[in-house]
Amino acid sequence: MQFSRDRGLALVALVLGLAVALVWVPLDSASGILEQSRRRVSVGDAAAPTLAALFIIIGALLLWIERVSDEVSALTWRNAVYLLWLTGVLGLALALMWGLGPLAARLWGAGEYRLLRDTAPWSQIGFLCGGTAMVAGLVGLVDGRLSGRGLALGLVSTMVLIALYDLPFDDILLPPNGDY
């Protein structure tokens, strides 16, 4: 069972390695493996990534032939379900973190967010709500339901982080303020 699962992984790695070496690197590098300008030959930008691809290909071939009698470890549909939940929770939290500050500033008519990115409370709204959502969402994911405990923990931990990073340092920007 372990052998066939590892062979599946080997196949994926082999395709990836070949795609990198034969498609991505040649199409996305300005110079080849070796470059000649006038009479001087030098190593081009494609050489190092090709070596990386070679490592992947050799690894895939070894994985195909080697037998590892270690404990079985492989991906299952449960991992995929978990990753979907995780992506949903983190995606929602990061969306709140990114957009809530500018949205609040616009709704309140406080002005352009770029000028408010270092001014409380505008600079902290997105982080506070997004961070709380992230912690509460992940606690809820484990518990199987959203709880007051998770929300309280999220709120307290984001407030502690604001106190730790934002209040004592003038030159530090909390997410997402550095992007505005």
- Least distance from C-beta 125 to other proteins, angstroms? 15
41 binds other proteins (CB under 8 A): yes
Judged by CB under 8 A, which of 11, 19, 22, 62 binds other proteins?
A: 62
55 binds other proteins (CB under 8 A): yes
120 binds other proteins (CB under 8 A): no
13 binds other proteins (CB under 8 A): yes
148 binds other proteins (CB under 8 A): no
Judged by CB under 8 A, which of 18, 92, 98, 110 binds other proteins?
A: 98
129 binds other proteins (CB under 8 A): no
173 binds other proteins (CB under 8 A): yes
Residue 84 main-chain phi, psi, to 5 deg: -65, -45
Judged by CB under 8 A, which of 15, 19, 23, 54 binds other proteins?
A: 54
178 binds other proteins (CB under 8 A): yes
